Amino acid sequence: MTTASHTHDLLVIGAGSGGVAAARRAAAHGARVLIAEADRVGGTCVIRGCVPKKLMMYAAGYAQAFEEARAYGWTDVSGHFDMARWAAAKASEIDRLEAIYRRLLADSGVELALGHARLQGDGRVVIGTREVRAPRVLIATGGAPARDTLPGLAQAMTSDEVLNLRELPASLLVLGGGYIAVEFASILAGLGTAVTLAMRDTLPLRGFDADLRRRLASALSARGITLAGGQAMQAFEHGPDGVALHRADGSVLRAAAALNATGRQPNTAGLSLSEAGVALDSRGAIVVDADSRSTAPGIWAVGDVTQRVNLTPVAIAEGRAFADTEFGGRPMRVDHRQVASAVFTDPPIATVGLSEEAAVRLGPVDIYEADFRPMKTAFAGHEARTYMKLVVDGLDERVLGVHMIGADAPEIVQSLAVALSCGATKRDLDRTVAVHPTAAEEFVLMRTPARRLPHDRTAT
């Protein structure tokens, strides 16, 4: 093993979105930075998460687009989805993006070291057979699918394997009701697979606004997805004839294949964290303070490995805040209280701020709603609907939450998230002139509350 003195100012473990953002920002402030990666540069989002998932979502969307095209006067519009062809194109695109990430690191002056990293304490990190030292170490190793939440579950595919499929299964059993579960259920159903969504809760997306959850359940059912909710899962089996899920009520759900989307866990194994004095919480996540400091001197952590808000933009913001604070002379903290998010189902969901259920616990609220058939699909004879909701403080008219399910929801809510971060009131939206004809204009045309709710002091 080769040993080095403090040849770097910062060692980053994990070249995903958060680690790369921190490394490049620290280097821009003049720091000497080394980033270690045990797999591919780009992390979960680029290699096996957000990007390939959305490319698969785009592919699934063409089935409905072909159908709508006929209603708009197009003839001879049809096609057959070739999973192997998509997989090859996806692999090429991911290779291209990884090359861009590598080039960004090189152009920023960040040294890349490939290999598994282990903490040794006192600023020492072993990468493969090489030992490096720095006064600051940042852990940004992200998360991975949990495979032990149910007996036999390790035999099921995770999102990693689904994104590498070269042939679609005839039927798919999706286990879980969160982001990953509903997104892949929607996508695979759009590509022609018969999908069953099995979840413990009666509705998908626990923690989201209840009106969105109900409408998503209806939309998924309308697209042919079987919702099997309200029962705990007991055991999973994989055999020569397919898979079987045994549930608490004695029922058994079967399919040709299964996707384990029961959750993700922090990537902390093999880092020697305990030896370095880094504390973990009950979920196995690294315990950090508001400045992303761990319990060990000189060690920080950002992104999904901390289990604060597991979203790529949050990891990036945390990484940059760390670098600005430690190397840029500009102390920064990330506000995790008002983070916009999107769920890329069909139709998609987007949300920012408080749900109705959360807001009413804090005080009186006014609820504004719009529910309509969007022009594009209504013309084609489809029954799909768009739903928009504003949660407004009943005392000072400040907008507390924006929620939407329908076409273009992520793009629309991203813009409105800026307004919320600036403290926009309902009066600010009312005096905004609408852009017509758009779906987004409905957010500035809601004049009368659908309901006024008093402070619910009994809500938990």
Nearest to 188 by CA among 228, 220, 152: 220
Asked if the domains 153-262 and 347-450 are classified in one and the same CATH topology, the answer is no
Side chain identity, residue 362: L
Side chain identity, residue 456: D
User: 178 labelled as ligand-binding?
Assistant: yes
Q: State the Rg of the chain over Cα.
A: 24
Q: What number of CA atoms fall less than 13 Å from residue 329's CA on the CB side?
A: 2
Per-position DSSP letters for 400-437, written without gaps between them: EEEEEESTTHHHHHHHHHHHHHTT-BHHHHHTSPPPSS
Q: Could you say which architecture CATH assigns to the domain 153-262? A: 3-Layer(bba) Sandwich (3.50)
User: 363 labelled as ligand-binding?
Assistant: no
Could you confirm whether 436 is annotated as catalytic? yes
Please tell me the predicted confidence (pLDDT) of residue 3.
52
The model's pTM: 0.95
User: 182 labelled as ligand-binding?
Assistant: yes
Render pLDDT for 195-216 as a digit per residue (tens, 0 to 9): 999 999 999 999 999 999 999 9
Could you give the CA distance from residue 213 to residue 451 in angstroms, rounded to a whole number?
19
Give the model's confidence band at 311: pLDDT under 50 very low, under 70 low, under 90 confident, else very high: very high
Nearest to 114 by CA among 50, 8, 47, 42: 42
Residue 185 has pLDDT above 70, yes or no: yes
Please tell me the predicted confidence (pLDDT) of residue 459.
65
Helix (H) or strand (E) holding 22: helix 17-28
CA angle centred on 72, ends 67 and 74, rounded to 5°: 75
Please tell me the predicted confidence (pLDDT) of residue 50.
96
Could you give the CA distance from residue 159 to residue 216 in angstroms, rounded to a whole number?
21
Residue tagged 């504003």 (tokens) = 390
Please tell me the predicted confidence (pLDDT) of residue 7.
83
Nearest to 350 by CA among 263, 418, 414, 446: 414
* Alpha carbon 234 to chain centroid, angstroms: 27
Residue 454 CB-density burial (10 A; 0-12 exposed, 13-18 middle, 19+ buried): exposed
Indicate which residue of 8, 116, 246, 436 is catalytic: 436
Please tell me the predicted confidence (pLDDT) of residue 321.
98
Please tell me the predicted confidence (pLDDT) of residue 1.
52
User: 258 labelled as ligand-binding?
Assistant: no
Q: Calculate mean pLDDT across residues 236-250.
A: 95
Residue 230 has pLDDT above 70, yes or no: yes
Two tokens at 322? 């760390």
Cβ–Cβ under 8 Å, residues 299 and 261:
no
Residue 4 has pLDDT above 90, yes or no: no
User: 179 labelled as ligand-binding?
Assistant: yes
Q: What CATH class has 10-145+265-327? A: alpha beta
CATH number of 347-450: 3.30.390.30
Average pLDDT, the chain: 96
Could you give the CA distance from residue 319 to residue 179 in angstroms, rounded to a whole number?
23
Domain boundaries, the chain: 10-145+265-327, 153-262, 347-450
